[in-house]
Amino acid sequence: MIDNPFYSHEFHGDYELISVGQLELEDGGTIPDCQLAVATFGELNAAKDNAILIPTWYSGTHQIWRDVYIGSEHALNPEQYFIICVNQIGSGLSTSPHNAGGANADIGMSKFPHVRIGDNVVAQERLLQRHFGIDQLELVVGGSMGAQQTYE
C-alpha cells in the first residue's frame, strides 16, 4: 500500500468505506473485498423513494459534487433528497491499486484487475440494496465516466 494524503478524510471530508463483498469483474478478475467510499447527504425517508445516486468519474471524488452541486441552494437539495455519492472503484478513495491491503493485498498496484463501467454499477447496486435497502432511485446523475454509468 502507498500512503497518499490526497486520498484521505483530511482532504475529502466525511465519507464512509462500505464493503460490498467479493466482486467478480467482467474481464474475469476479482476484487476479494470491494470497498466503496461513500458520502451521503440528507435523510432517507421511510418509503426509501427519495434517493439520488451520484457515481463519480475517473479521478473525480464526491468532494467536487459536495462543493458545487449539493446544498439547499444548489441543484441537488439534501433537505428534499437522500443523496448518495459513490467514489469509483480505482479512484483512490474506494478500493484502488494504491490502497489494496488486507484481503486485497494480492491485487495491489500493477496486479490490480481491469475494472469496467459495468463493474462499478454492479458494486453500486449491491451497496444500494444491501446497505441502504433501496430498490429504486429517484434519479441517477453523473459527469463523464459517472454519466456513462447512468446508462449501464
CB 95 within 8 A of CB 102: no
pLDDT at 60: 81
- Which residue is associated with the grid cell 441537488? 76
> What cell numbers appear for 2 in the block?
502507498
pLDDT at 42: 98
pLDDT at 61: 83
Domains and CATH numbers, the chain: 9-151 (3.40.50.1820)
CB 36 within 8 A of CB 89: yes
Q: What does pLDDT average to in each consecutive run of 10 residues of the chain (152 residues)?
A: 68 89 98 98 98 91 87 96 96 90 92 96 98 98 90 86
CB 124 within 8 A of CB 149: yes
pLDDT at 11: 67
pLDDT at 12: 74
pLDDT at 2: 63
> What's the whole-model pTM score?
0.92
pLDDT at 123: 99
pLDDT at 29: 97
For 10, residues 6+ apart whose C-beta sits below 8 A from its C-beta are: none
pLDDT at 15: 94
